[in-house]
């Protein structure tokens, strides 16, 4: 009986150590997740802004604005957009 109690006490200690390690690792994972989210949020905003600019530029190219001569294909040629924007702002 004494041996069983001793084994149970050892198992209990090991379980507590394991539980502590799991909590430490999960805390570090939460911190890592927060850091990754902070890094990816500006990138996502830049991509959304780029998509919005391309859609607006396609609208202008389709006759929806002053720069109707700047036609784009359906996917939006970013090189053409960049060149046309530079031309517009340099004049």
For residue range 40-67, what is the model confidence (pLDDT) as tens digits?
Answer: 888 888 889 988 988 888 887 766 555 5
* Span 8-14, average pLDDT: 96
The pLDDT of residue 70 is above 60: no
Interaxial angle between packed helices 78-90 and 2-59, expressed in degrees from 0 to 180 and rounded to the nearest 10 = 60
The predicted structure's pLDDT at residue 74? 45
The predicted structure's pLDDT at residue 31? 94
Cα 49 to Cα 56: distance, rounded to the nearest angstrom: 10
Q: Domain locations in the chain?
A: 2-90
Cα 20 to Cα 12: distance, rounded to the nearest angstrom: 12
Q: What is the pTM assigned to this prediction?
A: 0.45
The pLDDT of residue 72 is above 60: no
């Amino acid at each position: 009986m004494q041996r069983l109690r001793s084994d149970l006490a050892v198992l209990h200690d090991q379980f507590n150590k394991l539980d502590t390690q799991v909590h430490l690792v999960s805390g570090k994972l939460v911190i890592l997740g927060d850091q990754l989210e902070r890094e990816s949020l500006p990138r996502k905003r830049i991509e959304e802004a780029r998509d919005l600019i391309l859609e607006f530029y396609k609208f202008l190219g389709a006759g929806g604005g002053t720069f109707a001569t700047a036609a784009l294909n359906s996917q939006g040629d970013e090189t053409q957009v960049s060149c046309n924007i530079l031309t517009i702002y340099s004049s």
